[in-house]
A and B are shown apart, each in its own frame.
Chain A
């Protein structure tokens, strides 16, 4: 079976399992919205500050809770299933790409709902024609964060404290994504160029993709 057929099959089944488990939309998303709701309470009644901080809070909460989406249960294979995939001839790189695609779709949906909630709760002053750049930024963040989550999941596969360890790996490595995403929005509000920040996000995504595909086989073999 071709590499891309395996990618499509992994993505399809991953999304089906996630739909049945509901980790992202029924558990992570409501808690992220509550966090978005609670944050302004710490600022009192300063509405202009709330409005100004909205986009930054959106990215901070989006990436923090997005780590849980990236490490969702549906993207974790127990040792028996990893052995089975190897014996079925599944390319570990296809598993990485498939997991990244399914996670990217979920992450984009998650960020989309969170964005609507942020606009409703914070009434931020968004620049004209904000939708296109914000969509592009969200896609790049979704892909990068999922790549990072999939990679961290593979590094910590079969470890008892996998969830805690994987989060600790993701948090510092997600910094370029946090900086790139929040700076893009800030640059837009100042009418400054967003290209350098977009390039940081693209470079991060590409580096993670190369690392994920290149390390997929060694990590799978080392996990046994």
Chain B
């Protein structure tokens, strides 16, 4: 299997301000990359570029073989999983309904959602609405979604923030499962300690430039 992510001289500007500059990044199957950096350094923007959600202003790159900024990325998006900093759940639906909604839209057997909810420890509170659930519960629901969708590229934005030890272990298990199945993981966080525990390679990002971690 070839490279899953290959970015060359990527630059991104948001609202006229440069956010990423000269990004060179390659990710091979089975690799877990940790990227640390201060707030506003460009970590989330880097994840959105790898997720194909943001097209680069200059430079070129491929994700799962699809050229960034072209229509070729649309079909590969379903093989990318993103744990965003803010939960992407519908507040009025229960945790179980949110998960079933994601399963139904991806054509996944919705019976898998019950198993996933059990794995993340939400089976007894899955009838709570997202609006009435804690941040930790929302995060666990999102982890359950990533368990059932089994992405080839897993992107985690500040994955350990606000989670108890048990939930952090779930994230670790999700990372291990993805890499053992030949996928790759990119984790971004401002806490280097958490990244070092899970990543096979560490980089830092500062003022939009990627550098090897010291």
Contacts and interface: CB of A to CB of B under 8 A. Distances in A.
Given A1-B106, A13-B101, A16-B93, A87 B86 contact: no
A13 B104 CA distance: 11
Given A5-B107, A16-B97, 19 more contacts: A1-B106, A1-B107, A5-B104, A13-B93, A13-B101, A17-B90, A20-B92, A74-B92, A81-B88, A81-B90, A83-B48, A83-B82, A84-B102, A85-B105, A88-B105, A89-B75, A89-B78, A217-B74, A224-B53
A195 to B, nearest CB: 41
4 A-B pairs closest in CB distance: A1-B107, A89-B78, A80-B88, A84-B88
A21 interface: yes
Contacts, number: 68
A6 B103 CA distance: 11
A54 B48 CA distance: 53
Contacts of A78: 88
A121 interface: no
A81 B89 CA distance: 7
The contact size tier of chain B is 20 to 34
A110 to B, nearest CB: 19
Contact of A21 (B80, B82, B92): B92
A187 interface: no
Contacts of A16: 92-93, 97
Contacts of B75: 89
23 contacts: A1-B105, A5-B107, A9-B104, A9-B105, A13-B90, A13-B97, A13-B101, A16-B92, A16-B93, A16-B97, A21-B92, A80-B86, A83-B48, A83-B51, A83-B82, A83-B84, A84-B102, A87-B53, A87-B81, A88-B106, A89-B78, A89-B105, A221-B55
A211 B86 CA distance: 32
A90 interface: yes
Nearest to A19: B92
A217 B70 CA distance: 12
Contacts of A221: 55
Interface in B43-57: 48, 51, 53-55
Nearest to B87: A80
A136 interface: no
Residue among B48, B77, B86, B89 with most chain A CB within 10 A: B77
A89 B77 contact: yes
B82 A224 contact: no
Contact of B53 (A5, A9, A86, A89): A86
A75 B97 CA distance: 17
Given A20-B92, A21-B92, A83 B53 contact: yes
Given A84-B88, A87-B51, A9 B93 contact: no
A81 B75 CA distance: 18
Nearest to B107: A1
Contacts of B101: 9, 13
A85 B53 CA distance: 11
A83 B105 contact: no
Contacts of B149: 88
Contacts of B53: 83, 86-87, 224
Nearest to B104: A9
